[in-house]
Amino acid sequence: MKYEVVMGLETHVELSTKTKIFCGCTTEFGGDPNTHCCPICIGLPGTMPKLNREVVKYAIMAGLALNCDISKISKMDRKNYVYPDLPKAYQISQYDRPLCERGHVDLSNGRRIGITRIHIEEDAGKLVHQRGKTLIDYNRGGVPLIEIVSEPDFRSVEEVVEYLEYLQLTMRYIGVSDCKMQEGSLRCDVNVSVRPVGSEDFGTRTEIKNMNSFTNISKAVKYEVQRQIDLIESGGKVVQETRRFDDSSGVTESMRGKEDAHDYRYFREPDLVTIFTDEERVDQIKKLIPELAHKKLERYIKNYGLSEIDAKLLVKYKRVADFFEESIKDLKSCRNCANLILSLIFSKFETEEQKEKFEIKVSPEAMNELLKLLEAGKIRNNVAKKTLEEMLESGKRATDFLSEEDLKGLSEQELKAVCVEAVRSNPNAARDYLDGKQKAVKSLIGFVMKKTRGKANAQLAEKFIIDIINSKN
């Protein structure tokens, strides 16, 4: 029997506010254990939470970017459960009146993934297991999260990864989260079930908790799908439960039975007011959302004539895309800029994080100045690359490295004279070309480029050289 996988995701995104959701403690990552907390964070009796306005704004921005409806009235609720990382024995979250609902993300294969809801909540602390003991760090407790809950619309691992990459890029573009999976600011729970192909009924699902890398998500889902199929075909039944993925062994392991909503005994948080969001406020927030990555990608391919591969690399990092667009102002073509960024500048970075930060000593204005010299034919590609290397090293402008002689350019008459000299000085290469060895002309072009210190137009030089050789025979 053939089976179909059905998956839904609950994605937690840590918001980049400076302070926590209900108090003034910093949200900065790291720090000595239990130094970024206060009585509110650790739930001491008598403390009163106060909702951070910026959290609501960021959540609405995320909702708008993901095509959600924004609720005019929403509220906070208590989600009750006992675990050491939650000192209050409840989490302040949202249940039946979330801030955002009914959104969607369109995948490249044409399928649409529905988003059930986006709600705000507080993060829990972190458990550290050492030498048989469990330590608790509450620095992360109270850090604001949005939880993006999808419909069970995924049918492959590839769809899951594409969706998460889309969320990561979108949240970074609108500036609500850095989405660093290695720091836990983007992590997800994957609900997995299988059913016979053609069936409309859902199978029993299991939840794989706290996945924080695309590689592990792929491995965990593939293992869990096969585990469930093997269990069904051997006459067993899939049990609704929460599982963890062990990346060292590559298997999922049972943690506990899967809770349903009633197990959490949700009720309204009495210490926080109702959230009212009118259309005027939503319109104000909508104006803060920049052009999103998928729209930018379409424009780069359609308007700038970039290949899909190059365009994807540029829009993948918002700072790179911003630098690129500032650098190509008033230019006829953007290809030179794209080539210099993707080859020369990217070669200076060793990690994805460095590309994300895109900290370089060259300003977009200085890059634009260099590109205009290249476009005007005053310098050639090799000179532009060498000059950009020096600019990246020193932070100086192109004109600080280019002399009047460099910028003088080369007339066609001067170029033709150098080409004549090249043919005269290399008779063997000219003879080889006439004998059918097309590559022989490359050495003659090399002579011209060396003689002109890279100022010659290589394509025009090739034409002149071939004409000169043919005219002598």
pLDDT tens column, 323-369: 999 999 999 999 999 999 999 999 999 998 899 999 999 999 999 99
pTM here is 0.83
Residues 225 and 83 reside in one and the same domain? yes
Q: What is the pLDDT of residue 367?
A: 97
From 54-58, 325-329, 457-461, the region with the lowest mean pLDDT = 457-461
Q: What is the pLDDT of residue 406?
A: 61
Query: Whole-angstrom Cα distance, residue 115 to residue 146?
Result: 13
Q: What is the pLDDT of residue 461?
A: 84
Give the Å distances, CA to CA, from 141 to 38, 39, 96, 209, 242.
10, 11, 23, 18, 22
| 367-372 mean pLDDT | 95
Q: Which domain holds residue 210?
A: 3-285
Residues 265 and 315 reside in one and the same domain? no
Give the containing element (helix H, strand E) for 172.
helix 157-174
Residues 460 and 318 reside in one and the same domain? no
pLDDT mean across residues, the chain? 92
Look at residue 407 and tell me whether its pLDDT is greater than 70: no
Residues 390 and 452 reside in one and the same domain? no
Q: What is the pLDDT of residue 16?
A: 96
Residue 136's nearest CA partner among 42, 57, 275 is 42
Distance of CA 251 to the CA centre of its chain: 27
Query: Whole-angstrom Cα distance, residue 87 to residue 77?
Result: 17
More confident site: 459 or 345 = 345
Question: Which residues neighbour 464 within 8 Å (Cβ) at sequence distance 6 or greater?
Answer: 415, 416, 419
Q: What is the pLDDT of residue 78?
A: 96
Look at residue 408 and tell me whether its pLDDT is greater than 70: no
Q: What is the pLDDT of residue 288?
A: 95
Residues 378 and 237 reside in one and the same domain? no
Look at residue 54 and tell me whether its pLDDT is greater than 70: yes
Residues 100 and 153 reside in one and the same domain? yes
Structural domains in the chain (count): 3
Residues 276 and 383 reside in one and the same domain? no
Q: What is the dihedral of CA 419, 421, 425, 429, to 10 degrees?
A: 20
Residues 62 and 39 reside in one and the same domain? yes
Q: Which of 371, 391, 408 is the last residue of a domain?
A: 408
Query: Whole-angstrom Cα distance, residue 20 to residue 37?
Result: 9
From 16-20, 60-64, 235-239, 378-382, the region with the lowest mean pLDDT = 378-382
Residue 1's nearest CA partner among 307, 255, 234 is 234
Q: What is the pLDDT of residue 403?
A: 65
Confirm if 444 and 415 have CB atoms less than 8 A apart: no
Look at residue 259 and tell me whether its pLDDT is greater than 70: no
For residue 261, name the pLDDT band (cuts at 50, 70, 90). Answer: low
Residues 238 and 351 reside in one and the same domain? no
Residues 200 and 239 reside in one and the same domain? yes
Per-residue pLDDT tens for 278-295? 999 999 999 999 999 999
Query: Whole-angstrom Cα distance, residue 229 to residue 226?
Result: 5
Confirm if 143 and 123 have CB atoms less than 8 A apart: yes
Residues 253 and 146 reside in one and the same domain? yes
Q: What is the pLDDT of residue 258?
A: 65
Residues 168 and 242 reside in one and the same domain? yes
